[in-house]
Chain A
Amino acid sequence: MTDLTIFMLQTWGALPEVLRFIVVTTLKIFGIILPLIIVVAYYTYAERKVIAFMHARMGPNRVGPMGILQPIADTLKMLLKEVIVPANANRFLFVLAPVISLIPALAAWAVIPLNETFVLADINAGLLYVLALTSMGVYGVILGGWASNSKYAFLGAMRSASQMIAYEIAMGFALVGVLMAGGSLNLGEIIRAQEGTVLSWFWLPLFPLFLVYLISGFAETNRSPFDVAEGESEIVAGFHVEYSGIAFGIFFVAEYANMVLIAALTVILFFGGWLSPLQGIPGLKDSILAQPSFGWLASKMLFFMFCFLWSRATFPRYRYDQVMRLGWKVFIPITIAWIGVEAVMSYMDIGPWA
């Protein structure tokens, strides 16, 4: 060891415990957030490319080879544009709204276990924390719509508010099912409870809940076919119609970060998180593919992220009241019924929850 390294290690050791913890945690936070932001940026690029191919067109192909620099150019463009605050808008809330919608989408990553060991905050109430934070995000939408002082934005905010309530409940019930099956609120524990083969992941025993959760996730993130809060052809852009420049950009990032988050949660709760699908197959026991790893988590997430894009390219948009009907009259009864079935089965010690 050189003198310099020794010196640095000594200085590090001399720091108070709290300071060391803060530094390490901050570094970890950056380690999660920065790649996440890059993923989000390239998710927008992927969306444009994937949808373009589904639409028989080319997508962005001018900035850099195959348009690979497009997200960077977009960000630059938005940063350089003026943020226009409409007359009679509530300035404070107007600026606050995009921030409120972005922060929960990023903060929720604190409890997401990326592999068997790495998780920023391994708290016991991880699932509750996620639920609490994701429901915070809607305040950004509501505030943004309200503070804009525009009728289109107002309608978008109203739609979003009622939609969120409906789907938050369905989503919550779906999570109750997972909680009962997993026996813990800690996301890592939930994944460990799914250990075994592909068939022991929760998607099979909790299939109705999985579908409800995934579709509610689409609704929660305001994605097609539930994008009534933005409803381009009806209320133009809904809640963010008055936003421009980077304020709009932040809403945009928040939406995509939420999609990534929902994809991650779907994988963790129903598809065994970092577990390998090849696990439990006798011949492959020692192969590297059968080991749990971050790679599996990422590739499963990619599939669900692709589903978001796929549905956007395919489906027409629901009408507002139809979205409500689906949430209240279809999803909530389904989840309640399945929780009942699950409870009875686990009480009688039958099925996978025995």
Chain B
Amino acid sequence: MPEIQNLTMNFGPQHPAAHGVLRMVLEMDGEVIQRADPHIGLLHRGTEKLAESKPYNQSIGYMDRLDYVSMMCNEHGYVLAIERLLKLTPPKRAQYIRVMFDEITRILNHLLWIGSHSLDVGAMAMFLYAFREREDLMDCYEAVSGTRMHATYYRPGGVYRDLPEKMPKYQPSQYRKDKDLKRLNEARSGSLLDFIEDFTDRFPKLVDEYETLLTENRIWRQRTVNIGVVSPDRAMQLGFSGPMLRGSGVLWDLRKHQPYETYAELDFDVPLGVNGDCYDRYLVRIEELRQSNHIIRQCIEWLRSNAGPVMIKDHKVAPPERLEMKDDMEGLIHHFKLFTEGYCVPEGEVYAAIEHPKGEFGVYISSDGANKPYRVKIRAAGFAHLSSMNEMVQGHMLADMVAVIGTQDIVFGEIDR
């Protein structure tokens, strides 16, 4: 009799469900997974090392590219760390703008998550519905920063510029009917805030729409209930954070427990799961979509009634106005120094963490007083989540592993850094 061996299978890195470049070596007994061994590093770009060789401000753009589906939140963590080292507080309006865009980013991220998660489980429609809404939010990014993804909008001391008074509009195209063009441009006729408000009016109904397709769907429940169960204790031991931790029923949200920016003034709930399976994490994230929407509405209200600066006036850190730079010798010097040499940060260490859509995103900076960080360490939530992969999928079937990858909401940009 030949010896019976387990089947070793390579999953990825070119696999459609690998969410980028995840490579896993699976040891399978038929369809049942005995061991899953995730391999990382295929998207390693040396972000931390690159940041050591550049003035502080020039690394903000790298942060966008970490978790490339929640761009501004990554910036936020980095910018917050620098601000803590510099001991400066951005103006209130800038803080509200940041909070608003953090929540927009959370919706962006969760939309991508729900789309790819359900696509992995086989429901194709969700993916495209989610992208339809993402398109609107990308337009908000574009209106405020000029790019749809890698915004570089948050700067130490505030945000790059105030919210624009008008939105870019769609141009006529032979592939788009006039009626559609009108409908698309209608919400875009006012300011950015009007556009976002219009979105928040529509969005809860759209979430209901997603839920009609999934929440009570028998197949969806069969595929997610009791899959990848993590107990609350184990979730904490594994270093989970964000929806992964809350899905297991642990109440931990940095926005509530270590409030940064203006979260302490805002009203929102933190959803918790009970069973710690894929379905609970799904429900938690769906509720987070609604809560984010609620937070955005509060921010809009505040931003409408409170005008003010969005950047500090200290020209050692923040660039002077364009006009000032052209008119004033001092302004020109400030401008030149800031964009060549940057600014020096006092000696010291700091760790700043924010509630990233995926979990706790922390940036640790060690400064030796130069204009570049001595060392930057990024704590990515996905890394801790991915390392629990083996534990979560053991004894499950191949198809469940895909569901678990989906529920972990893995993005390789931040894991490989």
Contacts and interface: CB of A to CB of B under 8 A. Distances in A.
The answer to whether A and B come from one shared complex is yes
Interface of A: 51, 54-58, 61, 151-152, 155, 159, 224-225, 227-228, 231-236, 312-322
Q: How large is the interface on B (under 10, 10 to 19, 20 to 34, 35 or more residues)?
A: 20 to 34
A17 B15 CA distance: 59
Given A232-B16, A316-B123, A320-B397, 13 more contacts: A54-B125, A55-B124, A55-B125, A56-B129, A152-B9, A155-B31, A233-B121, A312-B124, A314-B125, A316-B214, A317-B121, A318-B122, A319-B222
A333 B220 CA distance: 24
Contacts of B50: none
A-B pairs with lowest CB-CB distance, top 6: A317-B122, A233-B17, A55-B128, A316-B123, A316-B122, A319-B399
A179 B220 CA distance: 36
A212 B377 CA distance: 58
A216 to B, nearest CB: 16
A55 B129 contact: yes
B128 A236 contact: no
Contacts, number: 84
Contacts of B125: 54-55, 313-314
A151 B8 CA distance: 9
B53 interface: no
Contact of A151 (B7, B120, B121, B400): B7
Residue among B7, B124, B128, B175 with the highest chain A CB neighbour number at 10 A:
B124
Given A55-B129, A233-B120, A317 B398 contact: no
Contacts of B213: 314
Nearest to A232: B16
A315 B123 contact: yes
B99 interface: no
B220 A321 contact: no
B141 to A, nearest CB: 21
Contacts of A315: 122-123, 217, 219
Nearest to B214: A316
A234 B9 contact: no
A247 to B, nearest CB: 21
Nearest to A312: B124
A58 B177 CA distance: 12
B118 interface: yes
A188 B86 CA distance: 87
B16 A236 contact: yes
Nearest to A314: B125
B276 to A, nearest CB: 20
B315 interface: no
Given A51-B124, A56-B132, A151 B223 contact: no
A61 B174 CA distance: 11
A225 B132 contact: no
A316 B223 contact: yes
A227 B124 CA distance: 13
B402 interface: yes
Which of B9, B214, B217, B399 has the most CB atoms of chain A within a 10 A radius of its CB? B399
Contacts of B175: 58, 61
A316 B219 contact: yes
B267 to A, nearest CB: 33
Contacts of A56: 128-129, 132
A58 B118 CA distance: 21
26 contacts: A51-B124, A55-B128, A57-B128, A61-B175, A152-B9, A159-B31, A228-B399, A232-B122, A233-B16, A233-B121, A233-B122, A234-B398, A235-B398, A236-B15, A236-B16, A312-B124, A314-B213, A315-B217, A315-B219, A316-B214, A316-B219, A317-B123, A318-B122, A318-B219, A319-B400, A322-B219
Nearest to B401: A234
B119 interface: yes
B119 to A, nearest CB: 7
A313 B213 CA distance: 11
Interface in B116-162: 118-125, 128-129, 132
Nearest to B9: A151
A236 B120 CA distance: 11
B219 A225 contact: yes
Contacts of A235: 398
Contacts of B214: 316
A294 B223 CA distance: 42
A320 B121 contact: no
Nearest to A228: B399
Interface in B1-39: 7, 9, 15-17, 31
Contacts of B123: 314-317
Contacts of A151: 7, 9
Given A56-B132, A61-B175, A233-B119, A316 B399 contact: no
